[in-house]
Structure 1
Amino acid sequence: MNSPGVRGSGGAAQGASARAPGGDTAATIAVAAVATCLIALVVTLVAGGSVTARVVPGLPDAGPLTRWGLPAATTVRDVAAALTAGPIVLALFLLPLRSGALGPQALGYLRAAAWPALVWAAAAGATLVFQLSDVSGLPPGDVIGDQLTSYAVSVAQGIGLLATILLACAVALLCRTAESAAGAFAPLVLTGAGLLPPALTGHAASAGSHELAVTGLALHVVAVSLWVGGLAAVTFHGLRAAPEDAPVAAERFSRAALWAYIGVGAGGVASAASRMYTVADVFTTAYGWIVVAKTALFLVLGLIGWMHRRRTVPRIAETGGRRLFVRLAGVEIAVMAATMGIAAALSRTAPPPQEGGTTPAEAVLGFAVPPPVSVQTLLTLWRPDLFFALVIAVLGGCYAAGVVRLRRRGDRWPWGRTVAWAAGLAVLAAMLLSGVATYSMVVFSMHMVQHMVLSMLVPILLVLGAPVTLALRALHPAHRRGDRGPREWLTAFVNSGFSRAATHPAVAAPLFVLSPYALYFTPLFPALMNDHTGHLLMNVHFLVTGFLYYWIIVGVDPGPRKLPYLMRLVLLLVAMGVHAFFGIAIMMQTDPLAMGYYGQFEVPWLDGQSADQYTGGGIAWAVGEIPTALVTLAMVRQWRVDDERTERRRERHSRRDGSDDADMDAYNAYLAELDRRSQGGR
């Protein structure tokens, strides 16, 4: 990371003398972190029994190189990914921008992130080889070739690692070529995308509770990478940067680290809960003891973070405060390294077995086939979907915080918008967390209820809540001129070329009305239903496409363009007509849809897939009437208010310019006289 762009503002000689102690300290911290990570990895692997298991004669065995090489390659991959994310986050969000552009230091950190990205790609490639060796029971040298190529393009775990390799290489390329703050967003997004495939295709995808295991592990991995990488980058910056630059990065990272800590904890709890079925498993199995050790280190990290926030961050502008920060951060990095070593060993430790085994339906659904649909089961069979629970909690909490800030400031916020937002989140919870979500995985008609509500009712309520307008009014501007805080980033996103393209009627409307045809009448639907991540992305697609469409129809937030109301009405009528035909097309199908998914389990209380599918098509045909009426009422009201606002603006303009229209005034006086005479006659 010794990039020429990462320097202080002093002269060359002064900068060289200032960097020498910092370089020694950075090297010491790095060596200590590597040592603690390796020690923790080795001790945990031995204690967990994954490298000391007795080889059964006659069974294939990959050999000691794979037993030790796979967790080692996984550890290097995870650490390199974190060290890639850290400098990018530091350059974009932790260092102040200059007129919205990256400064020399930030650009140097962005360039430096390319090197750990290349290590990340190489470690992911080694993990791919060792993983295939472990699965096939062959030495690593015997799987390189056609067998490795086939595994990388046909098996979910291999595809995930191949995607990580490609994304890491793309991150390295973009970090070397990006010049602006907007351009630096691409490697940041690709880094986040590269972290997810191993988590979404590994053992979590086959755990009993898909909603907890997959989302919990993905959240855990992303939060750990941002936390570890961010701390390493801020510590390096504190050693190398000019004194006046260090407090800004440390103070901003302190706020972000709290949320990363919460994300790590929530993801870790969910991931562990999906693999241990009783409390006794925590204390009677090797997997449970490793989780306990990891939890203890997590609590130690929380204590160190609290000390940072209370003691070192307020004093970091002082010389002693910076030294204290570096010492404490060095200890924190060492503990983090040990935690990552334990985590890599934990992924190689067998979790406790589930008593009684699983049925074929439970293997597909993650739960047993529910009893017949009733009001009681719809209200009681809730699913612990961590992803949407977090989405609802974050959206609700941020909106409430914005309203409270406006109220405390003495500003008014329409209560109708708050009610619409709260109602949208409540309906979202009912569709994705209650018994409706449980039955939507088993019964096509209930799935269609969920689809229609997610795409045609929830987005309307959320759009009418005007979240962007609330955020722009509640968020404070950046303290430094030319810098970007949350408010400036939001404004830049709303006015970006991406937003302009996504909210164009030629993009938003076809996505909304045509994507159901591409989904349900192709093999894509059973493929997405068979995979938890695919099913989650399908629900997100329903919400996002519905939100974009109704944003351009009845949205009150500022956007790249404002459509005429007549054009909005035409788009609404056309979309509703196409949606109605979609329901009729499902009802006319002679063969059941997605039998590759629904045919895997038996629903004894269902009268048949064809009859249920006919019911689902009727629901899709009929449900569109309610959103159409709601949107029409909202549009008519907005049209009237807009006309009144335009008329008031015209009158103010006329009075200011002295250019009143005499004919219009005479006509208004004539109407007033007629009204007076009619009143007198009565």
Structure 2
Amino acid sequence: MASPGTSETQTDNRGTGEAVVLVAAASAASCLIALVLALLLGGAGLAQVIPGLPDPGTLTRWGLPVSKTVMDVSAAVTAGLLVLAVFLLPSDRGALGEQAQSYVRAASWAALVWAVAAAATLVFELSNILGRPATEIIGNEITSYAGSVPQGIGLMVVILVATGVALIGRTASNAAGAAGLVGLTLVGLVPPALTGHASSSPNHELAVTGLALHVLTISLWVGPLAALVFHALRGGEQLPAAVRRFSALALWAWIGVAVSGIASAVSRLYTVEELFTTSYGQIMLAKTAVFLALGGVGWAHRRGAVPRITETAGRALFVRFAVAEVVLMAAAMGLAAALSRTATPPGLATEVDAFRNLTGFAMPPPMSARTLLTLWRPDLFFGLLVVVLGGLYVAGVVRLLRRGDTWPWGRTAAWLAGLLTIAVVQLTGVATYSMVLFSVHMVQHMVLAMLVPVLLVLGAPTTLALRALRPAERRGDRGPREWLNAFLNSGCSRFVTHPGFAAPMFVISTYALYFTPLFGSLMQDHLGHLVMGVHFLLSGFLFYWIMIGVDPAPRKVPYLLRIVLLLLAMGFHAFFGIAIMMQSAPLGMEYYGQFEVPWLDSLADDQYAGGGVAWALGEIPTVLVLVALVVQWARDEERAERRRERHSRRGGSDDADMDDYNAYLASLERGSGGRDRQTR
């Protein structure tokens, strides 16, 4: 006979299971109802068979949005379970607790559903494109679609990523490994957004980036909340700490969803009236209403439930609010899936030409100072990058000043100047003409790779973050500060900051880009432009961080080696510019050969000017960095000499600089404490 305690436990578990099933059923019903109604409103769910034209059939007509919804929801659940396990629940010196490990295992099952749903979506997408029933699609057609068409390639990447998360999630047992799964999951969310119907929008730069941001932020909002509801219903441990951490994450996610939603509306709707007169606009209005309702529930969370989460009544209030929020989020995801199947408004009648089809905007007039200042490009990615990095840096400085600490104004000026320079070359007419003229593209490249990184490195962002971020409340737990420290001391950080990696990445990748067909391929679409811009920034930042960086780094590179590497880089960049000037055939004709610039005399002359830009703009910053490096070396030697003299007067050994350096390495091993002492 079972004991009373055992009977009560079984009853509690049964009650918890029933509550979870009810919440899941309500969420699924909400999502399905919203999806069906929106499909009927937009016309995508109704049969529109035209005699003589192929028809994929009813199965594809409804199976495609349903499979896409399951794919999006399971991806969000995968991300949510992993985020809950790694970042919301407290850990103990990088080791996951028992419940956290169980959530990682659950995420692996959710990832398996994600992979299967992505495979079904791939088949239905191909059926829709070919206009044939899904049951008639054969293997060779699927293989060809998945390997040659951007939408198919994107879904294939999702399948591979989801399968990888499902397999690796069965063995991950520590916070670092599970954090890697979070990053892998976020990577898997992006390909459909980059290759879907947004890429064909006239404002495809804004549409693609906006949709990718929308998918990422809503998944980091919906998934963790759903996982947190499950954790609360089962009476999980450390719920107050997890709720408080999620509250901060949810606020940032809400802002991201709002910004990306506005960007999507602007990129697809041409007038305000289209919000009310088109099916696409009406579904978007319905989704906006749900989003505003979610904001209201979130505000009630922060004001009512979160401050009282340690109380029994507050916990019950949180569960009620969270369940309502999950049901609303499920409806929003159903509307989003239906929106992707609804035809966008046709837009204004414009003259179609090769350049507009390729870039999304008309051929600009001849370049002048006025056009460089007025023909701005709405690049959402780099615009948000500048705003977010600038805001976080200023917030860190303000926190230090309020605490009574000081921060060198020169570092702040360098950081803000670097961000301003990014805005100049990525958002103004420079970005517009970089898609027309090779010479302007080379200006953009050299500034992003050679000038901006120097300014950002001198801003010492890592030092500021280590000083401004607060330690975790519980010893052994990991907050943002501890995660930053863990990354700085990780094997990945030691590898990418090794001179043997950073220097070749900075120099050789430039040759690999421009003297192969890769340059012409990347110039074809907005994703390629983003990849090049981010690569220029990161490779330059890593190189100059080991050259003149003032932040604490995993290793101290000798000054003589730094000077040798810098001189080698200077020589390679000079030869790169000369090699471009000596090219007999224009580079990147896969891109530039698709249109004509009526006011440009010769592509060869423009390329020759671009080579001169690469030579000049590559050498001038390098010479300045060389001077700064020599000054740093001289000052370091002076400090070392003073330390040796003081140590000698105290009766110590003559090798005081080596003792100090060993102490520095020991402080890095101990973590953030040593870092603060080095930076103050």
Whether the aligned pair in 2 keeps the contact of 1:26 and 1:239 (CA below 8 Å) is yes
- Cα separation, 1, equivalents of 2:187 and 2:6: 39
Offset at 1:566? 1.0
* Rounded Cα–Cα distance in structure 2 between residues aligned with 1:405 and 1:633: 33
Q: Distance in 2 between matches of 1:284 and 1:584?
A: 57
Separation in 2, partners of 1:462, 1:658:
39
d(CA) in 2 for partners of 1:120, 1:552 = 41
CA shift, 1:241, in A, is 3.0
Measured in 1, the distance between the counterparts of 2:558 and 2:506 equals 20
- Does residue 437 of structure 1 match 2:431? yes
8 Å contact from structure 2 (residues 644, 654) kept in 1? no
Partner of 2:307: 314
Q: What residue in structure 2 maps to residue 449 of structure 1?
A: 443
Q: 2:578 aligns with which of 559, 563, 584?
A: 584
Q: In structure 2, the residue corresponding to 1:652 is in which secondary structure?
A: helix
Letter in 1 for 2:491: G
Residue 386 of structure 2 aligns with an amino acid whose one-letter code is I
Match of 1:323 among 280, 297, 316: 316
* Separation in 2, partners of 1:33, 1:278: 34
Gap change, CA 1:290 and 1:658, over 3 Å in 2: closer
Matched, 1:303 2:296: yes
Name which of structure 1's ranges 592-601 and 570-579 shifts more when overlaid on structure 2.
592-601
Q: What do the CA deviations read for 1:545-569 (whole angstroms, capped 9, x no partner)? A: 0001111100110111111111111
Contact 2:647 2:654 in 1 (8 A): no
Match for residue 616 of structure 1 among 610, 621, 632? 610
Structure 2 residue matching 1:600: 3-state secondary structure: coil
User: CA contact under 8 A between 1:587 and 1:617: conserved in structure 2?
Assistant: yes
Distance 1:631 1:83 in 2: 48
Aligned position for 1:251:
244
In the TM superposition, what is the alpha-carbon distance from 1:629 to its structure 2 partner? 2.4
1:196-207 → structure 2 map (5 Å cutoff): 196-207=190-201
Cα distance between partner residues in 2 of 1:319 and 1:297 = 29
Q: State the match for 1:571 in structure 2.
A: 565
TM-fit CA distance, 1:653? 1.9
Aligned to 1:55: 49
Contact 2:497 2:546 in 1 (8 A): yes
Q: CA distance change for structure 1 residues 397 and 12 in 2, over 3 Å: closer, same or farther? A: farther
Distance in 2, Cα, partners of 1:173 & 1:54: 42
Q: Which residue of 1 aligns with 2:625?
A: 631
Shift of 1:13: 6.6
Counterpart of 1:145 (choices 139, 142, 145) is: 139
In structure 1, give the amino acid aligned to 2:464.
Answer: L
Q: Show the counterpart of 2:187.
A: 193
* Structure 1 residue 18 displacement after superposition: 3.6
Q: Is residue 580 of structure 2 the alignment partner of residue 596 of structure 1?
A: no
Residues 6-85 of structure 1 aligned to structure 2 (within 5 Å): 15-85=9-79
* 1:128 equivalent in structure 2: 122
Deviations 1:134-167 (A, max 9, x none): 0010000111321111111110000100110010
In the aligned structure 2, how far is the partner of 1:53 from the partner of 1:374? Answer: 53
Q: How does 1:345-424 map to 2 (within 5 A)?
A: 345-357=338-350, 358-424=352-418
The letter for the 2-side match of 1:29 is V
Name the amino acid aligned to 1:276: L
Of residues 265, 275, 279, the one that matches 2:268 is: 275
Matched, 1:560 2:557: no
Q: Which runs of 5+ in 2 are unaligned?
A: 656-680
Q: Deviations over 1:427-457 (max 9, x none)?
A: 1110111110000011000000000111000
Separation in 1 of the partners of 2:7 and 2:504?
61
Instruction: Work out whether residues 85 and 103 of structure 2, in 8 Å CA contact, stay in contact via their aligned partners in 1.
Output: yes
C-alpha separation in 2, matches of 1:546 and 1:476 = 29
Aligned to 2:530: 536
Deviation at 1:658, TM superposition (A): 6.8
Conservation of the 8 A alpha-carbon contact between 2:104 and 2:169: yes
In structure 2, relative to structure 1, the CA distance for the partners of 1:636 and 1:660 (3 Å cut) is closer
- Match for 1:374: what amino acid? S
Rounded Cα–Cα distance in structure 2 between residues aligned with 1:334 and 1:19: 23
Structure 1 stretches of at least 4 aligned residues deviating more than 6 Å after TM superposition: 11-14, 658-661
Cα deviation digits, residues 67-88 of structure 1 (max 9, x gap): 1110000000000001100110
SS at match of 1:274: helix
What is the percentage of aligned positions where both structures have the same residue? 65
Indicate conservation of the 8 Å contact 1:204/1:214, yes or no.
yes
Q: Could you say which residue in structure 1 is the equivalent of 2:328? A: 335
Q: Which deviates further from its counterpart, 51-60 or 125-134?
A: 51-60
Cα displacement string for residues 632-680 of structure 1 (whole angstroms, at most 9, x for unaligned residues):
232123223212321232233223337899xxxxxxxxxxxxxxxxxxx
The alignment's TM-score, normalised by the length of structure 2, stands at 0.94
**Residue aligned with 1:384, SS:** coil
3-state secondary structure, aligned to 1:457: helix
Q: Which residue of 1 aligns with 2:675?
A: none
State whether residues 199 and 214 of structure 1, in contact with CA within 8 Å, keep that contact through their aligned partners in structure 2.
Answer: yes
Are the aligned partners of 1:211 and 1:387 in contact in 2 as well (CA < 8 Å)?
Answer: no
Q: Give the aligned length.
A: 650
| Partner of residue 156, structure 1 | 150
Instruction: Report the residue type matching 1:262 in the other structure.
Output: I
Q: In the alignment, what sits opposite 2:94? A: 100
Query: Paired residue for 2:510, among 496, 516, 526?
Result: 516
Question: SS in structure 1 opposite 2:523?
Answer: helix
Report if the CA contact (8 A) 1:19-1:239 is conserved.
no
Aligned-partner Cα distance in 2 for 1:632–1:621: 17
> Alignment partner of 2:600: what SS?
coil
SS of match in other structure, 1:113: helix
Report what 1:674 is aligned to. Answer: none
DSSP-derived class of the 2:576 partner: helix
Q: 1:370 to 1:15 in 2, by over 3 A?
A: farther
- Residue 99 of structure 1 deviates from its aligned partner by 1.8
Cα deviations by residue, 1:521-555 (Å, 9 ceiling, x for unpaired): 11100100002101111110011000011111001
Which amino acid in the other structure matches residue 352 of structure 1?
P
Matched AA of 1:339: A
- AA aligned to 1:457 is L
Aligned residue identity for 2:241:
V
Note closer, same or farther for the CA distance 1:129–1:636 as it changes in structure 2 (3 Å cut): same
Q: Does 1:241 align with 2:235?
A: yes
Mapped to 2, the partners of 1:302 and 1:108 lie a distance apart of 30
Q: Distance in 2 between matches of 1:512 and 1:54?
A: 54
Whole-Å Cα distance in 2 between the matches of residues 645 and 109 of structure 1? 51
- Alpha carbons of structure 1 residues 322 and 658: separation in structure 2 relative to 1, 3 Å: closer
Q: Select between 631-640 and 598-607 the one with higher mean Cα deviation.
A: 631-640
Aligned residue in 2 for 1:668:
none
2:465 and 2:620 mapped to 1: Cα distance? 29
CA distance, structure 2, for counterparts of residue 276 and residue 132 of structure 1: 27
Q: Which residue of 1 aligns with 2:678?
A: none
CA drift at 1:610? 0.6
Q: 1:257, CA displacement in angstroms? A: 0.3
* Most deviating of 202-211 and 37-46: 202-211
Match of 2:474 among 447, 455, 480: 480
2:109 to 115, 118, 121: 115
Q: Deviation string for 1:254-282 (max 9, x for gaps)?
A: 11000011111111111121111111111
Instruction: Report deviation, 1:595.
Output: 1.1
Shift of 1:57: 0.5
Contact 1:129 1:144 survives alignment (8 Å)? no
Q: CA, structure 1 residues 450+660, in 2 after alignment: closer, same or farther (shift >3 Å)?
A: closer
1:3-57 superposed Cα distances (whole Å, 9 cap, x missing partner): xxxxxxxx97765444332222111111100011111111110011112253110
Structure 1: distance between partners of 2:9 and 2:96: 21
Distance in 1, Cα, partners of 2:256 & 2:652: 61
CA distance in 2, matches of 1:89, 1:658: 51
